[in-house]
Structure 1
Amino acid sequence: MARNYKKEYREYQGTSKQKKNRAKRNAARRKLMATGAAHKGDGKDVHHRDGNPQNNSRSNLMVTSRKKNRGNLRVS
């Protein structure tokens, strides 16, 4: 069965909640890039220490490897 990307976007990724979360994650990366902690194309992820993508305070953000960050448990 082929993956239906349009349906995924319509039912999940296109919701206002997910758009806000994505915008906050992008803002977190830009914030760390401005301080020099992250660099474009560095292959790293921005980790939210408390697991909340809405909390972009500098003390809550750190740069980690993709493997480490994507293995962390999520907080809803």
Structure 2
Amino acid sequence: MAQKLSPLAAKRKAVRDLAYAKTEDRKNKKAHAQKMHRKDPAGKGKDWDHKNQRWETPAQNRGNDGLGTKKESGKKYKTK
């Protein structure tokens, strides 16, 4: 992991991360991104941006286009 956590903290983080990854919203976004990759192989190595509805580099997408992720938290994006 990128973070330097104690073994106990790392274990607790893994549990939290897995619980978040299994939420209905994350499942829908993951399924949608997989559909987009099957439909358009040109997005290989890129992430589907659910806000802008286009392929972006992982750094650009996960960093909210350079604005950071706090502003974006809790938004509702299209997954269909």
TM-score normalized by the length of structure 2: 0.49
- Runs of 4+ residues deviating >4 angstroms: none
CA contact under 8 A between 1:28 and 1:61: conserved in structure 2?
Answer: no
CA separation of 1:18/1:66 partners in 2, compared to 1, >3 Å: closer, same or farther? closer
Partner residue in 1 for 2:62: 70
Cα RMSD between the aligned structures? 2.5
* Structure 1 unpaired stretches of 5+: 52-59
Higher relative contact order, structure no. (Cα contacts within 8 Å, ≥ 6 residues apart):
1
Partner of residue 6, structure 1? 15
Unaligned runs of at least 5 residues, structure 2: 1-8
Q: How many pairs were matched up? A: 59
Taking only the aligned residue pairs, the percentage that are identical comes to 29
TM-score (norm 1): 0.50
How far the C-alpha of 1:23 sits from its partner, in A, is 0.8
* Structure 2 match to 1:27: 35
Residue by residue, what CA displacement relative to the aligned partner does 1:5-57 show, whole Å, maximum 9, x if unpaired? 23432x32223332222111211222221xxx223xxx322233xx1xxxxxx
Q: Which amino acid aligns with 1:32?
A: D
